[in-house]
Amino acid sequence: MADSLDIVRSVADLRSRVQYWRDQGLRVAFVPTMGALHDGHLSLVRAGLELADRVVASVFVNPTQFGPNEDFSRYPRQEERDAALLDGAGCHLLFAPTVAEMYPAGFATKVSVTGVSEGLCGGARPGHFDGVATVVTKLLLQAQAHLALFGEKDWQQLTVIRRLVRDLDIPVDVVGVPTVREADGLALSSRNAYLSDGDRKIAPALHRALQAVAAGLREGKSASELCHRAAADLLAAGFLSVDYVEARAAADLTPLDRLDRPARILAAARLGGARLIDNIAADPA
C-alpha cells in the first residue's frame, strides 16, 4: 500500500480530515472516480493540485448508476494499484467507502435532474443519471471540498452535475477537465480494458467519426445528415451497434442542427464487450 496517501472509509473520517485542512485555511479539491484509474483520472488530480492545496479522490463503484444487465459485477476493481497511482500523482487522501457506508439500510432518497439528463446516455441507460446525480450529491456533501473536478469525457454527466450543484445550492465550484486521449485519438476509459486487441484497433474510429461531424458542421452542413453518416461509418468500421451520434448545444444539451452556437458532438457505441462514449467540441467560426 502507498506510504503517504491516507485512506479513509467512513464519511465521518473523510469529514474530519477535510475539516482539519479547512481550519488551517487550506483549499481542498475533490476528484470522484469509480477506480481502475488511468491517466485521465490522474489529470483531474493534477488539475486539482494546481487549483488547491490538498486533493481528495474517491473510488466507489456506484451500484445505482448501473442497469440490471450492465457491467457492475465485472467493472474492474483494483484498489491497491489505484492507491499507488494516486500517491504517485500527489493526491493526499483516498475515500474508498463500502456500499453499506454509502447506502445504509433504509436508504430511500433519489436526486433526479430533468432536462439535461434526458436523451443521449440518459435515453440509452434508463435511471443511469439518477444514480449518478444521487451519488455525486452525496459525495459532494460528504467531502465538503472547495472545488470538485470532473472530466469533459463524460460531457452529459458534467452538465448534469453543474445543474444539480446550481439547483441544490451545493457550495462547491465544479471544474471541467479536458479529455485525455491515446495517441490514436481513443479517449482513455476504464472500459477500454474490455476491448480485444482487434477491437482496440477499431476503437479510434469513434473519435474520427466525431471529428468528421465537427468538420462538416464547420462547413455549414446539417447535423442530422452528418450524424447519420457517422453512425453508418461506425457500423462499417466494426462497431456492433450505435446508441447515438448527436450534435447538441454545449451549454445545455438542447438539440442543434447548424453550428449557430458552441456545440458538442456526442456519441456512444458498442464494440466487442465495451460500450464506448466520447464527445468533442465544435465552435462557430
- List, by residue number, the catalytic residues: 41
User: Per-residue string for binding with ligand AMP, 43-82, x by CB under 6 A?
Assistant: xx--------------------------------------
What is the DSSP pairing of strand 173-177 with strand 54-59?
A: unpaired
Binding residues for ligand AMP, total number by CB under 6 A: 17
Minimal CA–CA distance to 169: which of 206, 211, 192, 141?
A: 141
CB 206 within 8 A of CB 213: no
Q: Is 137 near ligand AMP (CB under 6 A)?
A: no
Binder of ligand AMP out of 188, 223, 245, 271 (CB under 6 A):
188
Per-residue binding string, ligand AMP, 6-45, x by CB under 6 A, is ---------------------------xx-----xx-xx-
* Candidate list 150, 206, 226, 243; residue touching ligand AMP; CB under 6 A: 150
CA distance linking residue 252 with residue 254, whole number of Å: 6
> What DSSP assignment string belongs to 43-85?
HHHHHHHHH-SEEEEEE---GGGS-TTSSTTTS---HHHHHHH
Task: Compare residues 153 and 248 and give the one whose CB is closer to ligand AMP.
Answer: 153
**Which of 82, 130, 154, 199 lies at the binding interface for ligand AMP (CB under 6 A)?**
154
Per-residue DSSP letter, 114 = -
Residues 93-122 that bind ligand AMP (CB under 6 A): none
* Residue that has been written with the C-alpha cell 447519420 in this structure: 228
How far is residue 96's CA from residue 9's CA, in Å, rounded to a whole number? 5
Site residues, ligand AMP (CB under 6 A): 33-34, 40-41, 43-44, 150-151, 153-154, 177, 179-180, 187-190
